[in-house]
Amino acid sequence: MYTLKLMTNISCLMILAGLVPAANAAQVNGKLQVKVNIGAACELKSGDKSVLDFGSLNNLNDKDHDEQTAASTGVEIQCSKGIAYKIGLGYGLNPSNSHRQMSNGGSFVSYDLYRDSARTLWWGRLIDTSSILSGVGNGVIQSYPVYGRIPKQATPATGAYSDTVSIEVSF
């Protein structure tokens, strides 16, 4: 009786100590590779929500009229950290020799777009290398307001005038 009790106690201790393998227990090991490729990329975040609204004007022949996009509706871009980029603005749907133009039927209102609030740095297309905006990505959204000017000109027929300008990005 004493021997049976001793054997039972020793067996329990061996199982608890892990010296006796549990029945039907098996283990197989392998490896899982985890990878990522961070590419050089830029995304235009402002999309089609950018608006430059000069409001309602009654007279264009008295002075230049200036306006700018709100900070949240200018050109917004997000580029990978360290990626150099350039932003150009197209000439619009109704370009003339010296200005962009908003249209209303056969009538036009000339205007220009600038990169600075003083309206001295004209904003052109990517092919106009001296009139584009350049930057370096930092991984977060970077915002650039667009400054507009309707130069003094003959006031056209009443109505709503508009234009669409493409935003060009190279990186």
pLDDT, tens digit (0-9, with 9 covering 90-100), for 101-150: 999 999 999 999 999 999 999 999 999 889 999 999 999 999 999 999 99
What is the reported pLDDT for 80? Answer: 96
E strand residue ranges, the chain: 42-44, 65-68, 75-79, 84-89, 100-104, 107-114, 133-136, 141-144, 147-150, 167-170
What is the reported pLDDT for 7? Answer: 54
For strands 133-136 and 107-114, give the pairing: unpaired
Give the CATH class of 42-170: mainly beta
Q: Where are the domains of the chain?
A: 42-170
Predicted TM-score of the model (pTM): 0.75
In 3D space, the residue among 146, 168, 147, 170 whose CA is nearest the CA of residue 79 turns out to be: 170
Q: Which residue has the higher pLDDT, 144 or 2?
A: 144
Identify whether the C-beta of residue 164 lies closer than 8 Å to the C-beta of residue 95: no
Identify whether the C-beta of residue 116 lies closer than 8 Å to the C-beta of residue 131: no
Contact partners, residue 169, CB within 8 Å, separation at least 6 = 42, 44, 77, 85, 86, 87, 88
What is the reported pLDDT for 25? Answer: 83
pLDDT digits (tens, 9 = 90+) for 12-68: 555 656 555 556 789 999 999 998 888 889 999 887 778 899 999 999 999 989 887
